[in-house]
Amino acid sequence: MGFRFTAQEIASKLSVYGWVRNLSDGRVEIVAEAEEAVLKEFLGEIQRVFPRYVSGTEVDWEAPAEGFSDFRVRF
């Protein structure tokens, strides 16, 4: 299974809401909402599952704004 769909599966297990998409430059963008500890677990699980594919992360912590009801793969 690919990165985005695996991220979606992990998010569903942890009750993380938001979305994931590929960017044109080869990076992946994730926008996610949950409690901070859950988000850290989510990111840690992604890095555990894909240790060879995650070469770096950039995290911006912001107040929840979009009120997501699920986690989706965007195309």
Q: Catalogue the active-site residues.
A: 4, 22
Tokens of 47: 């890095």
Positions of E strands within 1-75: 17-22, 28-33, 71-73
Measure CA 45 to chain center: 10
